[in-house]
């Protein structure tokens, strides 16, 4: 998934080859859907958001300047489409309290997560991310699973890099709360301290 490869297909589409758009849709459909699902928290709505995103991308493809990666641009369109959907439905967000953790609590949770198999750990973390408020889940997914830089995320969500750092820090604290509540007892008991 190189940027040059994306640019090649974008140019074909702009020149009138609408069939080339299916390559970009195939390349990004899973990503767009998973990001939408993180924000809207509903499978059917996420499918609709994904469709709306690709319609918007297609219609505004000529506006893509290439200043950022195409993937970053499509994340931004997805994010804004999700926000529009959430505003339309004015959903209640699940609020997660941020507890203060002492060093021993964090260390025991880290040790328990380290003991899990990689695949098992990733799935457990993704399950807990699903319980976070939409914005937190979206930011953590972009940063950790899509490996977007702080600058790229700032571009997607229209914030400064420093604001993204602060939001990521808070999101990680919320995630730690959920991980502790959901996983610590069973993991520590299963794998031992």
pTM: 0.62
CATH code at 3-89:
1.10.1740.10
Q: Which residue has the higher pLDDT, 32 or 106?
A: 32
Mean pLDDT across the stretch 140-153? 87
**Nearby residues of 172 by Cβ (< 8 Å), 6 or more positions away:** 140
CATH (residue range 103-191): 1.20.140.160
Nearest to 80 by CA among 36, 19, 128, 29: 36
Q: pLDDT band at residue 123, thresholds of 50, 70 and 90?
A: confident
**Band of pLDDT at residue 125, cut at 50, 70 and 90:** confident
Confidence label for 81 from pLDDT (cuts 50, 70 and 90): very high
Please check whether residue 78 is in contact with residue 141, taking contact to mean a CB–CB distance below 8 angstroms.
no
Q: What is the reported pLDDT for 20?
A: 92
Choice between 187 and 171, residue whose per-residue pLDDT is larger = 171
Q: Kindly tell me if the per-residue pLDDT of 22 is higher than 70.
A: yes
pLDDT for the residue numbered 190 = 55
Q: Higher pLDDT residue, 10 or 183?
A: 10
Residues 6+ apart with CB under 8 A from 168: 139, 140, 143, 150
**In the chain, ranges of CATH 1.10.1740.10 domains:** 3-89
> Which has more pLDDT, 177 or 23?
23
pLDDT at 58: 93
Confidence of residue 1 (pLDDT cuts 50, 70, 90): very low
- Where does CATH 1.20.140.160 sit in the chain? 103-191
Return all residues near 176 (Cβ < 8 A) that are at least 6 apart: 101, 106, 109
Which parts of the chain fold into alpha helices (H)? Answer: 3-14, 21-40, 43-59, 70-89, 103-115, 118-129, 134-140, 150-157, 161-191
Mean pLDDT of the residues in the chain: 80
Q: What is the pLDDT of residue 182?
A: 76
Q: Is the pLDDT of residue 25 over 90?
A: yes
Residue 116 makes CB contacts below 8 A (sequence gap 6+) with 124, 187, 191
DSSP tag of 94? P
């Amino acid at each position: 998934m190189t940027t040059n490869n994306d640019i090649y297909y974008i140019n074909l589409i702009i020149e009138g080859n609408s069939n080339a758009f299916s390559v970009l849709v195939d390349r990004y459909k899973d990503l767009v859907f998973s990001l939408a699902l993180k924000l809207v928290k509903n499978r059917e709505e996420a499918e609709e958001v994904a469709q709306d995103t690709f319609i918007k991308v297609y219609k505004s493809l000529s506006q893509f300047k290439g200043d950022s990666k195409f993937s970053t641009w499509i994340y931004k369109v997805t994010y804004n489409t999700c926000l529009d959907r959430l505003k339309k439905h004015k959903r209640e967000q699940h609020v997660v309290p941020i507890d203060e953790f002492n060093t021993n609590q964090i260390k025991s949770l880290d040790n328990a997560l380290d003991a899990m198999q990689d695949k098992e750990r990733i799935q457990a973390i993704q399950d807990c991310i699903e319980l976070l408020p939409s914005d937190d889940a979206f930011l953590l997914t972009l940063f950790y699973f899509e490996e977007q830089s702080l600058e790229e995320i700032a571009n997607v969500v229209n914030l400064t890099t420093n604001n993204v750092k602060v939001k990521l820090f808070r999101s990680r604290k919320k995630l730690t709360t959920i991980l502790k509540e959901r996983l610590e007892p069973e993991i520590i008991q299963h794998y031992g301290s």
